[in-house]
Amino acid sequence: MNPTRRITTRSLVLRPLVAGDARRLLDMSREACARRWLPSQVLADDLHAAKVLDHLVESFDLAASPRTNAFVFGVEEQATGRLVGHVGLSPLVDAVEVGFGLETTAQGKGYAREGVAAACAWGLKTFSLPAILGVTDAENIASQRVLTGCGFCRTAEKTMVFQGAERPVVLFEIRNRSVGA
Of 174, 150, 127, give the one whose Cα is nearest residue 4: 127
User: pTM of the prediction?
Assistant: 0.91
Residue-by-residue DSSP string for 22-69 = HHHHHHHHTSHHHHHH-GGG---SHHHHHHHHHHHHHH--TTS-TTTS
| 7-128 topology per CATH | Aminopeptidase (3.40.630)
Confidence of residue 1 (pLDDT cuts 50, 70, 90): very low
pLDDT of 2 strictly over 50 = no
For 117-164, list the strands marked E by DSSP.
Answer: 131-137, 153-162
Confidence of residue 110 (pLDDT cuts 50, 70, 90): very high
Q: What does DSSP assign to residue 78?
A: T
Per-residue pLDDT, 180: 56
Mean of pLDDT values over 113-141? 96
Rg of the chain's alpha carbons, rounded to an integer?
A: 15
3 state SS of 127: coil
Mean of pLDDT values over 54-63? 90
User: What's CA 37's distance to the chain center, in Å?
Assistant: 13
Please state the domain extents for the chain: 7-128
Mean of pLDDT values over 98-113? 95
Q: What φ, ψ does residue 153 adopt, rounded to 5°?
A: -105, 140
Task: State percent of the chain over pLDDT 70.
Answer: 96
